[in-house]
Each structure stands twice: as C-alpha cells, then as structure tokens.
Amino acid sequence: MVATLEIRNLHASVDGDEEMILRGLDLTVKKGEIHALMGPNGSGKSTLANVLMGNSAYEVREGEVLLDGENLLDLEPDERSRAGLFLAFQYPVAIPGVTLGNFLRHAINARMKAEDPDSKGMPIPKFARLMREKMTQLQIDHSFAGRYLNDGFSGGEKKRAEVLQMAVLEPEIAVMDETDSGLDIDALRIVADGVNALTGPNMGALVITHYQRMLNYIKPDYVHVLYGGKIVESGGPELALELEEKGYEWIRERHEALAQAEA
Amino acid sequence: MAVIRRRSALPQAPSYTLADVHALSDAHDEPQWLRARRAAAWAIYQDTPMPYQEEEWRRTDYRHIRWDEAERLTQANGATAAAVPGKNLAPLTGDEQGGLLVIVDGKVVRSELADELCRQGVIFTDLQTAAREHETLVEPHLMTRAVRPADGKFAALHAALWDYGVFAYVPRGKIAELPLHVVCYSTRAGAALGHVLVVAEDNAQATMQVEYASAESAAQSAYIGATELIVGDAGNLRYVSLQDWNRETFEFSHQRGIVGRDAQLDWVNGVMGSRLTKAFIEVDAVGTGASARVSGFFFADRDQFFDLDTQQNHHAPLTNTDLLFKGAARDRARTLWQGMIKSLPQMQRIDGYQVCRNLLLSNEARMDSIPGLEIEADDVACSHAATFGTLEEEPIYYLMSRGITRPQAQLMIIEGFFDELLQRIPFERVRRRLMNEIEAKIIG
C-alpha cells in the first residue's frame, strides 16, 4: 500500500481559544506526490503544520488525521515522527549544548529502540558515514554536525539543517512549513535541490508556502489554496502561477461572495 | 519518619579545644612554625563568633548540623584505595597519571608521581610530609597569601585543625605535562579538614584535578576545607575540583587563587554532593596582566542546599577575570550564588565578567543569584548577569518532532545546558563521567 496522509474535516484552534483557525480542512497526500499548499497570511497554514506534528499549543476540535490508516491525533509528536511524519519547521529552535550530530543520532536510535527495545542503536561509525553521505548530497559543510543545534545558525543554515534532518530520518510524508522564508535565491536553490532529491517514490511532501517563488524549484503535482481555514481551490501547477499573477485578492472575493451566498 | 529538630536561636559551635590542636601537631611531629601557626589560628577561632546573619551568611542556615556527630575527627581504620569507587580512581586521560594521591579518611593510601615529573623537581605529596621535608616551600605559602585564618570562623578552625592535605609544587619554568590527580575519600562519618596547596612558580605550568567524595552514612559529617592555588608570574595552572560528598555532609570551605603577573588560572569547580555547601571561591589577580577564568557547575536535588560565594579581586591593572557558573535545582533543593567583582582604586584597564545561569527544574526548588560590583576605577570593563530559566515546551516539542521521547528530550536539553561548562574541563573521560552523574540526578 502506498503511504498516505489523510486529513479529514479538520477543525483546530489555538489551545484555549474560542476562535477556530482550521474549519473543515480535507487533504490527502500520497507517497511520491508533491502537494503545494498556498494561502494568504492568517489562512491557517502554520496552524495546519503544527497540528499535524502535535504541537500542544493547538487544539484539535473535530476531524481526523490518518497516516497509513493510523490516527495520528492520538499520538505524541515523537510517535508521529516514528510513524513516518516529518515537519520542517518555519522557525527551528536553537538548542545550545546539543550538537546537530548528537541530536540526529538520538533521533535515529529512538526509532530503532521503538522497533526493538533491546536495540543498542546505530553504531557510531555507521552513523558518521550516514551523516557524511547526506551532508555531501546536500552540499552542507561537514563541520555542521559538530555545531550546536541551530545555535547561531543563519536563516539559510537553519533551513538546510532542517532538510538534512529530513534526509537522515527518511520520512514517508514531509510537511515543509514556509521553508523558503528568509532564504536568498542561492540558499533557496540548494534547499529545493535537497527536497527534490528526497521526494520521489519514497516520500510524499506537503510544501506550505506563501509565495510561488519556491515552486519554480520544487515542481508540485498539485496546488491547493487555503483560505479561512479550509481548502478552497485545488489544481495543478498552473494554479500557483495564477496566484502569482493575480495575488490572493480574487480568492478572497470569490469566497467571501460564496460565504455570503451560503448565509 | 518524623524528625524533630531542636534549634536554638544561635548556631552551635563544635566542641574542639586547644588540646586537639596540640594533639594533632604532636601526632605529625610538626615543625615549630606550624605549631605556632596553628595556635595563632586557634586564638582567632576563639575570638570569632559562629557566623550567623552576617551578609555572606544571611541566607545560609546551617543550624541543623549535629556537631556531636559531625565534629568527630576521623581516624583512619585501615581502609585502602579499594574503598574508593573506581570512577574516582580512573586516570584522567590515557592510561597514565602524572601523579596520583589517594587519601582515605585522612590517610594517604596511594602516592604516585611519574618519573618525568620527579626529574623536573615537581613535588606532589601530602601536606604533613611536605611541611617537614620542604619547609622552605610550604611555610611562605601555607595560609599566608591565599586563604587566611582571619577570613572567617571556619577558615580559622581549618588553619588550627587541618588534619590532612596535599602539596603540589612545580618549580620555576617547569612544565608538568601530565595531570596531577588527587582523590579525597571518606569511608566514615565525622570531620574532615582537608587542605590543598598548589604552588606553580614563575613560568611553571600544571594541570590538576581534586575529587572529594564519601561513602553513604546516616551520621552527619563536616568538611571544613581550604584550597590555595598560587600561580607565579607567567605561570599557568588548570585546576578542576569536583565535590560529591554524601547527603549528610556539611561543607564549609574557603578556596582562593592568587594569580601573578601575566599568569593564567583556569579553574573549574563542580558541586554535586553534600547536604549543605557553603563555599567561598575567590581569585586575586595580583600581577599586571593576570588572567583568571573561574567556572562552576552545580546540580542540587532533594533537600540539598548550595551557597557559592565568589569574589574576583583585581589588585593590579590590565587584569582579566571571567566567571561563569551554571546550575540546576530540582525537588526542594535550594541554591544561592553571590558574586562580587572588586577592584582597588587606580587599577585601570581591568576586565571583569561574571554570570550565573540557573535552570529551575521544579516549582518547589529555589535558586537565587546576587551579582555585585565594587569598582573604584574608571577605565574598566566590568559586567555581570544572572539568568533563570525552566525547561520550556518549545525545544522539547522540537526534539520530540524528530522521534525523541519526552524524557530523553528533557535530558538532552538539561545536558546541553551544562555542556558549555563541562567543555572547560580538559579531560574527555571526566566530562563523560560528569554527564552521567548529571543524568543520574535528572532521572533519579
């Protein structure tokens, strides 16, 4: 069976808040597919990313999220990760004192232990080889592994570190939350090359972005527009170009008119 | 079990007498100058009230000490190095030690010094032996320059009654490449009055680590100690002190480094054990261009109480002191750091820095930090800071999003907090061991 992320009628708010941010979102992402999710500020893009990963600052009010039929909403973030979900953070957190290499080794070992409680984890030489291979592939300086996680990283370095983590952990489905924000064009190309190298038959991706720019480098199979907490338009790559050309205003107008008509 | 504590208003004093001082001098066949010095210290001790409510002691209540148990001067009863945990005895680096001195219940049970260091004229022996055999080297330094009997009640008591010690000496211009390693271990409850005197002469270099630990005991103990680090002009001393007393030990210690012209002292102090620790940790930059880095880490749990009182004294121009302490507290533990940077008038172009970073791991724990400056010069760069944090959800969530479990994520963040400090310890093996000890405190 092809790994599939299914989001059904998802309603969510900030924890403790009355106001609903996601209001009945439906989306299915299969392994091997690249979906772009676009939308204006405040449409709920980042909320979706955080709800999928299980950030406790958000509360799911209704709906379900399944990964290969398993309900992710019952799982803690670490269990979701081990089930095959990955989130590339928009704002990766700096953790002083924990090196990127050590962190990723723990992440891999946590997976091995979850599968086999007696596992001793990946031998260090094997892990070092894996890191070198992935860093070379992503054109990342090998000294990166010895630096404290995101501590003092530039915006571009943080995003590259996110892509490196994705490459090492090999998720089934990756959600990329505005990975293009804060990147200059060179960094954007490197990050996009990395994503392109990783997607394919072994991984599906949900690329969340405000701008079409990223989609010059990562070619989506499907483009969706999020507005008012639900997906209001879906199409092929041409939809992204249309948004680039016309902006989000026409979406706003069309759906406000629809909402009024419904009311 | 209900514990009823009877507390009088003022702290009780131990019941030592001048006869104890004399008995000690007799037992070790001490030279006259040392006998006189002990007697003089005893007089200061008698004239000094037990500390209570003075500024440095205001937040430290030690009245729950039971002196009837804690004051008993320990007598070695045949325990050997076999009583000491293997982790304390392991070489600091590689397979060889520059020197190893193991003191159990106040008695030297192992004493080794590499031939290479012997040939250079390095002395590494117990203080009583040194006081007899190397009088001219010990007498000028022993409690005359760094820690002095007049520094406080416990400094005076220590000067009168210190009952074991270490003397490490590196002659002028000699470089002791291999590290010197001291382990002080107590198998029995009671009083330990240990002294460390390190003298690195002009242009000499040395690295030394001293570890303090004791076997579990239900009875109380007191460690009334002193550490004196004397670094001559253009000398260089790296010194690591690790304290892991049992949970019924009360430590009252004075520790002071004296740093000469263009000399460097790199000092790391770790406090993990004891029930209560009150430590005065001071550096005096006495020569132009002297530089000292003072680092401390502490982790208090259960009902531990640590009070670390640091002082950076700039007695010469162009001196630099850099202090970083990092600590955590959990359960009902309490920690206190009080820091002070002082400069004499007209000591221009000095650079003093102090910061204490606190990680609070439970609502019942309490951590205080009180930085201070007393600067009487104008061309100076002095700054201080104290920070307080708790375990935040955001980094935990980030680590968990990569498959790491919540307890493991918390562990990694706390260890990361200490990593910067442990990196200042020059021995990889010791760093790893300390990380395990920190881990045990987090999990325990």
Q: For residue B394, list chain A residues with Cβ-Cβ distance below 8 A.
A: 93
Verify that B249 and B123 share a domain, yes or no. Answer: yes
Q: Report the percent of chain A where pLDDT is more than 70.
A: 99
Verify that B171 and B59 share a domain, yes or no. Answer: yes
Verify that B115 and B261 share a domain, yes or no. Answer: yes
A112 CB within 8 Å of a chain B CB: no
Verify that A71 and A101 share a domain, yes or no. Answer: no
Verify that A141 and A242 share a domain, yes or no. Answer: no
Q: Domain for residue B362, yes or no?
A: no
Q: Are residues A179 and A207 in contact, defined by beta-carbon separation less than 8 angstroms?
A: yes
A153 CB within 8 Å of a chain B CB: no
Closest CA to A120 of A131, A138, A108: A108
Verify that B49 and B189 share a domain, yes or no. Answer: yes
**Which two tokens mark B161?**
């009654």
The 3-state DSSP composition of chain A as helix, strand, coil percent (nearest 5) reads 40, 30, 30
Question: What's the pLDDT at B4?
Answer: 53
CATH number of the domain to which A210 belongs: 3.40.50.300
Contact B400 A82 (CB under 8 A): no
**Which two tokens mark A222?**
């499907």
Residue A231, pLDDT above cutoff 60: yes
Q: Are residues A166 and A177 in contact, defined by beta-carbon separation less than 8 angstroms?
A: no
Verify that A177 and A232 share a domain, yes or no. Answer: yes
**Which two tokens mark B45?**
């001790």
Strands A204-209 and B291-300: unpaired
Q: Domain for residue A157, yes or no?
A: no
Verify that A8 and A56 share a domain, yes or no. Answer: yes
Q: Domain for residue B344, yes or no?
A: no
Residues forming beta bridges with residue B276, ordered by sequence position: B250, B305
Domain final residue, candidates B236, B265, B287: B287
Q: How many residues are there in chain A?
A: 263
Q: Span A4-28, mean pLDDT?
A: 95
Q: Please indicate whether residue B179 or residue A183 has the higher confidence score (pLDDT).
A: B179
Q: Is B359 helix (H, G, I), strand (E, B) or coil?
A: strand
**Which two tokens mark A111?**
């997976």
**What's the ipTM?**
0.96
**Which two tokens mark A232?**
């209001």
Q: Domain for residue B111, yes or no?
A: yes
Q: Are residues B103 and B185 in contact, defined by beta-carbon separation less than 8 angstroms?
A: yes
State the Cα–Cα distance between residues A218 and A194, nearest whole angstrom: 10
Q: Are residues B253 and B279 in contact, defined by beta-carbon separation less than 8 angstroms?
A: yes
Which of A54, A81, A93 is opposite residue B394, by nearest beta carbon?
Answer: A93
Residue B92 structural domain: 18-287
State the Cα–Cα distance between residues A213 and B204, nearest whole angstrom: 63
Closest CA to B417 of B286, B297, B309: B297
Residue A205 structural domain: 4-92+172-262
Q: Span A24-44, mean pLDDT?
A: 94
User: A79, A89, A93: which to substitute to probe chain B, counting the most B Cβ within 10 Å?
Assistant: A93
Question: What's the pLDDT at B398?
Answer: 98
Contacts of A255-260 with CB under 8 Å at 24 or more apart are: A255/A227, A255/A228, A259/A228
Contact A104 B402 (CB under 8 A): yes
What is chain A's alpha carbon radius of gyration, rounded to the nearest angstrom? Answer: 19
Strands A222-227 and A230-235: antiparallel
Q: For residue A104, list chain B residues with Cβ-Cβ distance below 8 A.
A: 402
Interface of A with B in 28-67 (CB under 8 A): 53-57
**Which two tokens mark B310?**
């640091």
A256 CB within 8 Å of a chain B CB: no
Contact A98 B397 (CB under 8 A): no
Contact A96 B395 (CB under 8 A): no
Annotate B239-274 with b (16+ C-beta within 10 A) or e (fewer).
bbbbbbbbbbbbbbbbbbbbbbbbbbbbbbbbbbbb
Alpha helices in chain A (DSSP H): 45-53, 77-83, 100-115, 124-137, 155-169, 185-198, 237-246, 249-262
Contact B413 A106 (CB under 8 A): no
Verify that B272 and B408 share a domain, yes or no. Answer: no
Number of Cβ pairs < 8 A linking chain A and chain B? 80
Q: Domain for residue B59, yes or no?
A: yes
Q: How many residues are there in chain B?
A: 444
Q: Give me the DSSP letters along B380-425.
A: EEEEEEEEEEE--HHHHHHHHTTT--HHHHHHHHHHHHHHHHHTTS
Verify that A176 and A78 share a domain, yes or no. Answer: yes
Question: What backbone phi and psi angles, to 5 degrees, belong to B200?
Answer: -105, 115
Q: Domain for residue B306, yes or no?
A: no
Closest CA to A198 of A86, A50, A72, A37: A86
Strands A58-67 and A70-71: antiparallel
Domains identified in chain A, total number: 2
Verify that A111 and A88 share a domain, yes or no. Answer: no
**Which two tokens mark A172?**
């089934």
Verify that A180 and A83 share a domain, yes or no. Answer: yes
Angle at CA A120, nearest 5°, toward A114 and A122? 90
Place of tokens 């009150």: B278
Contact B416 A148 (CB under 8 A): yes
**Which two tokens mark B252?**
């009252």
Number of Cβ within 10 Å of residue B350's Cβ equals 25
**Which two tokens mark B372?**
């201070």
Q: Which residues of chain B have pLDDT under 50?
A: 1
Q: Are residues A169 and A81 in contact, defined by beta-carbon separation less than 8 angstroms?
A: yes
pLDDT digits (tens, 9 = 90+) for B79-98: 999 999 999 999 998 877 89
Verify that A77 and A206 share a domain, yes or no. Answer: yes
Q: HSE, CB side, 13 Å, CA atoms: give it for residue B83.
A: 23
pLDDT digits (tens, 9 = 90+) for A111-146: 999 999 999 999 999 999 999 999 998 888 999 999
Q: Which residues lie closer than 8 Å to A148 by C-beta, 6 or more apart? A: A94, A95, A96, A97, A98, A99, A100, B416
Name the residue in chain B with its Cα closest to that of A102: B412
State the Cα–Cα distance between residues B241 and B272, nearest whole angstrom: 11
Q: Domain for residue B341, yes or no?
A: no
Verify that B276 and B418 share a domain, yes or no. Answer: no
Q: Domain for residue A252, yes or no?
A: yes
Number of Cβ within 10 Å of residue A245's Cβ equals 9
Q: Domain for residue B10, yes or no?
A: no
B394 CB within 8 Å of a chain A CB: yes
Q: Are residues B421 and B240 in contact, defined by beta-carbon separation less than 8 angstroms?
A: no
Q: Which residues lie closer than 8 Å to A255 by C-beta, 6 or more apart? A: A227, A228, A232
State the Cα–Cα distance between residues A249 and B3, nearest whole angstrom: 74
Interface of B with A in 175-234 (CB under 8 A): none
Verify that A200 and A248 share a domain, yes or no. Answer: yes
pLDDT digits (tens, 9 = 90+) for A89-116: 999 999 999 999 999 999 999 999 999 9
Q: For residue A57, list chain B residues with Cβ-Cβ distance below 8 A.
A: 393
Q: Domain for residue A257, yes or no?
A: yes
B418 CB within 8 Å of a chain A CB: yes
pTM score: 0.92
Strands A4-14 and A20-30: antiparallel
Domain final residue, candidates B245, B261, B287: B287
Domain final residue, candidates B287, B309, B335: B287
Question: What backbone phi and psi angles, to 5 degrees, belong to B84?
Answer: -85, 135
Q: Domain for residue A215, yes or no?
A: yes
Verify that A132 and A180 share a domain, yes or no. Answer: no
